[in-house]
Amino acid sequence: MNVVIGLEVHVQLATRTKLFCSCRADYFAAPPNTLTCPVCLGMPGALPVPNRKAVEYALRVALALGAKVQKNSHFDRKNYFYPDLPKGYQITQREVPLGVGGSLTFHSCGEEHTVRIRELHIEEDAGKLIHTPDGAFVDMNRCGVPLVEIVTEPDLRSPREARDFLRALRTLLRHLRVSGGDMEKGELRCDANISISQD
């Protein structure tokens, strides 16, 4: 059986404030819905202003991965409707990402592997859905927290390789001091795109 895996890794950047407003970004232990403002909730007339430190941190990651930093980049609105996205859209770099290309070399099962990076872009995080026996609740504190999304090429061939790649990436992010990379806090999340075929 042949397994091909590509990853979309969402990394929360360790900035003091959110991506487009001055709300605190350290939401993890805060009471629900206490770190919000008209900008991160998408109120009419509220205008976003990019967080300079978030852009700097994303640039650090791009350069460390050997990505080509685009001469021009901009933000777009990605429209979708979900309970934890009060604006009805996410501000992201869908069309012109901050960085393209690059790679990360790591070890797995005693062998050296290299995963190519397709792109790296900045986007804002959504809120958090909390499911309990009494129903679903929404905490908007995470809305607007800065993320860098790192999209790999489908270069991984096993779940173990994917795990070892993520560990190497987390080590790099911590070394750069751009993210704690604590998965239990949601600081590092990953979507896996998997293709399976028979020999």
> Using alpha carbons only, what angle is made at residue 9 by residues 182 and 118, rounded to the nearest 5 degrees?
150
State the Cα–Cα distance between residues 146 and 112, nearest whole angstrom: 32
pLDDT tens column, 11-54: 999 999 999 999 999 999 999 999 999 999 999 999 999 999 99
Q: Domain range holding 32?
A: 2-197
Per-residue burial over 40-72, b = 16 or more CB atoms within 10 Å of its CB, e = otherwise: bbbeeeeebeebebbbebbbbbbebbebebbee
As for how many domains the chain has, the answer is 1
Total-model pTM: 0.94
Q: For 85-137, how does the pLDDT look when each residue is reduced to its tens digit (9 = 90+)?
A: 989 999 999 899 999 999 999 999 999 999 999 999 999 999 999 999 999 99
